[in-house]
Amino acid sequence: MRYISTRGGMEPQPFSETLLEGLAPDGGLAVPEQLPQVDPQTLERWRALTYPQLAAEVIGLFATDIAREDLARMTADAYADFPDEVVPLRSIGDGITLVGLSEGPTLAFKDMAMQFLGQALEHVLEQKDRVLNIVGATSGDTGSAAEHALRGKERVAVFMLSPQGRMSTFQRAQMYSLDDENVHNIAVEGVFDDCQNLVKKLAGDIDFKRANNIGAVNSINLGRIAAQAVYYFWAWLRVTDAVEPEYREGFEVSFTVPSGNFGNILSGFYAKSVGVPIRRLVLAANENNVLDEFFRTGVYRPRSASHTFATSSPSMDISKASNLERFIFELLGRDAGGVVGAWSQLDAQSFFDFSALQPRFEAEFGIVSGMSTHTDRLETIRSVYEGSGEIIDPHTADGVKVAREHLEQDVPMLVLETAKPQKFAETIAEAIGVELEYSDEVRRMLDAPQHVTEMADDEAALRAFVQKHALR
């Protein structure tokens, strides 16, 4: 399995090299030359596997240049501190099941990929005798998941950009309380998209990138996409455990995915393309509903920073979804020239119009969408709590609200949980009047000194900071 760029300007390269590259040299994103395929018999053989064992098999479809025994060791180590089941499924009634993705160290779904990615990066860097300086952007949970997965690693330094004042108190504490020498938190004046734009500028400068060993761990990193695909396989297998064996083959389920940067739902799209029987992938947006508009109308119109709302589901406060490029590549029949043309049109007129292709989004790819507001989140948190006793975080509430609009008879609906509600205690208290209890460890984290460098939205300042602190 080798990887090419969505923009056509990269020689095919192995999985391990894409882990270190981040953006392709031509500014595109790495995608498989062709997607692997899994037949129903293989799915059935995988039914008895533990989550780490399944992860080794699924990731192994993509990481063919890494020995299977090494992958098995990495996935075992990545999920060693999770509960035995790793990803539990919980019914909340009304035909909806939550896929529990928040059992990791930072209480958010990003841990599912980041814990593996930390293991994989360490393995590849040791083999190549190299170091890597991760420059990333976060709207909330990516940063803490990356930092907790990579803290203390000798061959990796992390430079994580976050928008000043745009994350929850818990999210800020979880990142800024870390004092490891290889972790550098940078709070940028602006919104997430400003942070992401700065990262892309540095990653797009090939000379700077190579001179400073720059890599990425946000959702453009294909290692994260592959690791996130695993829980779509796992959830389908667990749902169909209750189905009579003769009816399992082709038994379809739907997934609703709270989405900001389109990485998690892209993993679902890959899982569906590889062979998981998924009927619909339902994208749930918040008030920053650029992706919802695109999938409803075919028109992609990113917003400026000044028109990106600060919401109570802050990890989704994103108006330019990096991973959408990988979907566009598939939509256009893997035509790299068409991808370049779309972005040229976007640069020229601030939008591109694929309305003629919009009917294919559901008919061919199974993708539909919807949006949720703050009022919707509060009402959904309240109704789920009253109906099932479960307390869900505001991003998961966005997912449940939109999932309810796309239920189909005899098709199980699974909502991907985003985070533990404790990360958004203020919104939970507003919704149901419950003050969530924190463990002593969490209270110490919230009270700990915070280590962060505040910075203007300034490319030159960021370059200078990275050059000064980068590993060599």
Please state whether 347 falls in left (phi above 0), alpha (psi between -120 and 50) or beta: alpha
Cα–Cα–Cα angle for 391, 114, 16, nearest 5°?
A: 155
Which entry of 110, 209, 320, 401 is annotated as an active-site residue? 110
Say whether 200 is catalytic: no
In this structure, the strands spanning 183-188 and 453-455 are parallel
> In a 10 Å sphere around its CB, with 0-12 CB exposed, 13-18 middle and 19+ buried, how is residue 50 labelled?
middle
C-alpha to C-alpha distance for 312 and 165, rounded to whole angstroms: 12
List beta partners, residue 281: 255, 367
Residue 108 DSSP code? B
Chain-centroid distance of CA 65 in Å reads 23
Question: Among 140, 143, 148, which Cα is nearest to 159's?
Answer: 143
The token duo for 249 is 């083959």
The token duo for 80 is 């060693």
Q: How far is CA 115 from CA 122, 235, 236, 376, 464, in A?
A: 11, 19, 22, 32, 29
DSSP 3-state assignment of 90?
Answer: strand
Nearby residues of 11 by Cβ (< 8 Å), 6 or more positions away: none
Sign of the dihedral through C-alpha 17, 20, 25, 31: positive
Contact between residue 431 and residue 377 where contact means Cβ atoms under 8 Å apart: yes
Q: Which residues are catalytic?
A: 110
